Structure 1
């Protein structure tokens, strides 16, 4: 294995999560007696360019041709996207003469707000089923994987983009250099690129190991993201710390000839990363023991619940949850079932652990003692949605950033 950014072979093991199935390969009932392929999930760090990465053992085509994740099922995520569109439109003075492209546009959760402002736009979404949902809500969508050929074709047909948005996709591409060139091909020479991606500093410091799965090929600090974008002549000019996905960075980049000097926020966040030890190898080596503690705390809690005869179910069936379930070895003896708002997942089973997935209403029917939340990054939203389980004395538990229960009458209990 060589680094996909700088081609160095000096890769250092950071965290080995064993072998797991692809996290979005939810099983039908007919598949439960069939073999299930698993792939190593082993995070490594390039000692030369400091890019965190896993081997590219599955292709995007394996995952995204038909996809189980629809962004619009998270109310807070749709609101986040609307806020971004409003801020970006004002900041960049986007209007009817502008052109916006979103790469990995999913079900139109973001571009619907661009459409409503009368700004011409195009979504590029490889998943057939998800892209169709976007078109049904009036978002122009090209069903394809972005590459340099498609980037040139879109530019030829629509003109270069004033804004290219790539939210939570820059980690999903094994051909990092080619994809970065493709983003540049979409962009006007005076345009703006906005990328949102989970911040590797939170992954390391808060042991957010469940953000590691096979469709996430690399994990970025501002330093490593800047190095990756520079390979296509793009310069980071601003960075925002945002709370999504347990703590992300929104990186703004422009072509080098128009970029100018970066804002003070770029220098400040780089300094924060350096102080955390993430500009050298040693800072990454605490991730493994921190991850082991999360697993031990969660298993101890679930085993105690089982010994006490408590009924424990899950809420949510996100891809990240499947990393947690498989690494911790949690199956139906400790988690009876989980629920999800996405009808696509109903009647299916989680990969590897084979926990059944029901509609969210199942929790109200069964009134379990404990609800374990797998999409823990949506804590504020889910506390509001699930507050009513307190009516029957139910306990709402989050496994990360540390094991804790929600106080549904007020704050949080440790």
Structure 2
């Protein structure tokens, strides 16, 4: 631990701590710690069969550090021994019409832009295979999906006859599966050695003209919107447009595009493998100094938002209101365990049928189906992701459930 004071970094509270910690993005040896959440579940999407198993789930600490050299943010207390993804890791989002439309539009755009018709598509971290199946359906492509949580047969489609699913973590051992296009959606944020991983992808491609596409959460939005619900243990790596682009260039990719999507929640990058970089900087990139300013804003103001939600739940409980959370995934787990108010929410609802009857790690609540609300008739529903409010309201209207929707952001 360094003896440097906060005055070296910022002129505002709270105090930041300079720690000796190697940045996994650029190798810099120091990071500034600016946010801590202790004793949180080390996974939020591993479904537990009983309440007791959910309550006894292993816990760890989130201690976010900022690298002044490249702007990258990571959990300095992350322990890779908890990276145990398996078929019971349930993160499938394709039961949402809103998300499905986004995925459809994205797949069509990538297919048209890269002429992915009758081609070979590889998806690293394919989860249950929804997007890879879509890419193969729409473009009559062949696919390989690599993910330890893959479930063969979960997604029904004639295109699955042209897809091979490999239940494993991606490594250079799978370099034979490169194809014409590599996509990797919502995986890089789960990987601690980020430079090593992207470098592995680049070495696997070699001299082949394989385009790459990655999609992850945007940390810039999290910092600006004080979105503490988007910070949880298995997300050990947090990117902004600039930190992501700098990593890809350092790994041997020419960055062809960087942009936001899905209500500006997702950060997307496209690139091409090259031997000689042009040095071109994408206009959407920000500097490490700009990330620092957003980091300082977050560190200074996030406790106010946390206190607001603590008071909201306390007031609702005292008034005897029936409070439900819609969305049982990582945002829900981070929201409740950060606030330490799990007992002030009665029920958790989710549209994913594979979650129903399962229990949330660290929280212990059973996940209910939306139909449960017909009988329960809650006074308010806290929506973990506001982008789903319209489709949720439509479902409630169809079920005859009259309640107040309160988006988290």
Q: TM-score range by the shorter chain?
A: 0.7 to 0.9
Q: Residues 97-139 of structure 1, C-alpha deviation per residue, up to 9 Å, x if partnerless?
A: x2211111122221222222212222112214x3442477643
Q: Tell me, in whole angstroms, the C-alpha distance in 2 between the residues paired with 1:71 and 1:392.
A: 23
Instruction: Show the counterpart of 2:14.
Output: none
Matched, 1:153 2:173: no
> How much has 1:194 moved relative to structure 2?
0.9
**1:353 aligns to what SS in structure 2?**
coil
Secondary structure of 1:227 counterpart: helix
Question: 1:316 touches 1:338 (CA, 8 Å); kept in 2?
Answer: yes
CA-to-aligned-CA distance 1:42-77 (integer Å, 9 cap, x gap)? 111112221100133144641345312223222222
Q: Which residue in 2 is equivalent to 1:110?
A: 131
Deviations 1:4-33 (A, max 9, x none): 122222110121122201222443326359
The residue number in structure 2 matching 1:405 is none
Q: What's 2:24 paired with?
A: 4
Summarize the alignment of residues 324-363 of structure 1 with structure 2, pairs less than 5 Å apart: 324-332=335-343, 334-363=344-373
Q: Distance in 1 between matches of 2:291 and 2:54?
A: 46
Contact 2:348–2:365 (8 Å) recurs in 1: yes
1:248 Cα deviation from its structure 2 partner: 1.8
Q: Could you list the per-position Cα deviations for residues 188-237 of structure 1 after superposition, in whole angstroms to 9, with x for gaps in the alignment?
A: 63221111111121011001122211221111112111222223211211
Q: Provide the C-alpha distance between the structure 2 equivalents of 1:79 and 1:33, rounded to a whole number of angstroms.
A: 33
Q: Does 1:221 align with 2:234?
A: no
For residue 203 of structure 1, the aligned residue among 212, 216, 222 is 222
| Alignment correspondent of 2:256 | 237
Aligned to 2:5: none
| 1:233-284 superposed Cα distances (whole Å, 9 cap, x missing partner) | 112111222125x522211111124876858xx21x12xx35xx85353431
Listed as ranges, the matches of 1:173-212 within 5 Å are 173-187=191-205, 189-212=208-231
C-alpha separation in 2, matches of 1:184 and 1:33 = 39
Determine if contact 2:382/2:406 at 8 Å carries over to the other structure. yes
How many residue pairs are counted as aligned between the two chains? 382
Check the 8 A contact 1:72/1:107 in 2, yes or no. no
Name which of 269, 274, 286 aligns with 1:251: 269
* 1:157 paired residue number: none
Distance in 1 of aligned mates of 2:211 and 2:292: 32
Matched-pair contact (CA < 8 Å) for 1:195–1:251: yes
> Which of 396, 401, 404 lines up with 2:405 in the alignment?
396
What CA distance in whole angstroms lies between the structure 2 residues aligned with 1:300 and 1:208?
17
CA contact (8 A) 2:144 2:166 kept: yes
> For 2:86 and 2:158, how far apart are their aligned partners in 1?
20
1:68 to 85, 90, 102: 90
Q: Distance in 2 between matches of 1:85 and 1:69?
A: 19
Within 5 Å, give how 1:290-369 maps onto structure 2: 290-332=301-343, 334-369=344-379
What TM-score comes out, normalization by structure 1 length? 0.84
Output the aligned Cα RMSD: 2.5
Q: Secondary structure at the match of 1:289?
A: helix
1:178 offset after TM fit, Å? Answer: 2.6
The one-character-per-residue Cα deviations of 1:302-333 (angstroms, maximum 9, x if unpaired) are 2222222211122120112101100011223x
2:164 paired with 1:123: no
Match of 1:89 among 111, 117, 126: 111
Asked if 2 retains the 8 angstrom alpha-carbon contact of 1:310 and 1:370, the reply is yes
Deviations 1:155-208 (A, max 9, x none): xxxxx4221111111111122223112322454632211111111210110011
What stretches of structure 1 of length at least 5 have no aligned partner? 155-159, 401-414
Contact 2:85 2:148 in 1 (8 A): no
Q: 1:383 to 1:34 in 2, by over 3 A?
A: closer
Question: Higher relative contact order at CA 8 Å, sep ≥6: structure 1 or structure 2?
Answer: 2
Structure 2 unmatched runs, 5+: 1-20
Partner of 2:4: none
- Provide the rounded CA distance (Å) in 2 between the counterparts of 1:175 and 1:59: 13
